[in-house]
Structures are given as structure tokens and as C-alpha cells.
Amino acid sequence: MNALYCLHYAPDNASLVIRLALEEMGLSYETALVDRRQNAQDGAAYRSLNPNGLIPVLETPQGPIFETAAILLWLADTHKQLAPGPDSPDRAAFLKWLFFASNTLHADLRILFYAEKYIEAAQTEPLREGMRQRLRQHLQVLEATAEQTPNWLHPEKPSVLTYYLACQMRWMALYPMQSDRSWYQVHDTPRLRDVLMHLETRPATRAAIKAEGLGVTPFTSPTYANPPEGSAT
């Protein structure tokens, strides 16, 4: 690779979180489109990078890394940016919320978006309604945390976690396409909304908007990626 890193991505997938972090850190990287229309994520080449077939993968000089939170934490620690350092008094709180975002919030989003993979088709809507209730509770917990304005969830001081949460809130507003999405309103969490609004003004977000066709307000009033299949950049 000529660039320091290579991000294997698909538009508006979890790879968006990694792109935003790379841009915010000012790191040199290139991208490789994972063509989901052709199920490229299930091909041998991609599975050699991530045997689970999930997006994203970040190729690094130390080898490929997968799992969104793992990539974010590795980048933050490697480049000493966008997260409290190992010796910081904020480190423990940052870690617990980063892994809450990954292991709880993101996991519940996957069940909401792909309910048919977890239960019989006739039961998908009750399952989704249960996930909507859980996600509303998660957002209120995060809103209460944001009211304390911790350094890693500050409107004007982005961290890898703020970008992760911004993308997740974007997805809540958009997906699944054929389901009721009226349960989510960004104005219900005004402190988190302020974080999203500040992120939308940052050069990292503007670069991601251009690269993935995300629209001018990708977090507070999102539209679908255009083109949805992306392009190699």
C-alpha cells in the first residue's frame, strides 16, 4: 500500500465510522469498495481479511483489523488522538461507553435492522418493537451522560466515540427502509443533537459526505447514500 492504511468499505456501513476517524486524525489512507451487490464480503479474498465477512476491515502495517470498536481503539491508541490515553482518569469511563456502543447499542441495531436473521418472519415486527423500546432507553441513558459533558462526549471536542454514536443515530433515522421509523426523533435527545450538529460542521464529516454521497446533514437530517453501491476511491 502507498497509503498508511487501506479501509475496506461500503457506503453507510460501519466503515463510515472508521472513515470519519481517519479523516479527523488526518491520516493517510486509501479505500477499497466491498461490492455488496455482488456479495463480495462473502468472497474468499475478503474472508481472508475478515473470516466473519463483516464490514469494515482496516489493513494496517501490523495486519488487517476488523470489528469497529477494535479498529477505533487501535487507531486512537496508536496515534494518540480522539480518546483518553491509557493513563488518563477519563480512560475507564470512555472504555465502558465505547464498548456499550459496540456490544449493546450496535448489537441491538443489528437485531432491529435484520430481525429476520434472528426469528421467524411472523415474529419480526414484535421483535423490532422490543428493540425500538430498548434503543429509546439507550438513547436516554446516553443523553443523561451527555448532559455531564465528559471530554469524550463534548460537542466541540470529537472523539472516536462521538463519531460512532453519530453514525448509529444516523442509521436509526434511516433503517430498516420498509419499517416504521417514527419512533426515533433526534430532537428527543437535545444534548446528543448538539454533538451531531457540531460534527456536521467538521472537515472530516464534509470529506465523508463527498466520498459516500451522504447529503448535507448526514446526522441530524440524514438521507440515503447516493450512489448506494458506492465507488472505489
Query: What does the pLDDT read at residue 131?
Result: 94
What does the buried/exposed string (b/e) look like for 148-177 if buried means 16 or more CB atoms within 10 Å of the residue's CB?
eebebbebeebbbbbbbbbbbbbbbbbbee
Q: Is 33 left (phi over 0), alpha (psi -120 to 50) or beta?
A: beta
Which pLDDT value is given to residue 230? Answer: 57
- Tell me, what's the pLDDT at 49? 93
Please write the tens of the pLDDT for every residue from 32-87: 999 888 888 889 999 999 999 999 999 999 999 999 999 999 999 999 999 999 99
Mean pLDDT of 99-122: 93
pLDDT tens per residue across span 118-163: 888 888 999 999 999 999 999 999 999 999 999 999 989 999 999 9
Separation between Cα atoms, residue 78 and residue 87, nearest integer Å: 14
Question: What fold, for 91-202?
Answer: Glutathione S-transferase Yfyf (Class Pi); Chain A, domain 2 (1.20.1050)
Q: Which pLDDT score is estimated for 227?
A: 74
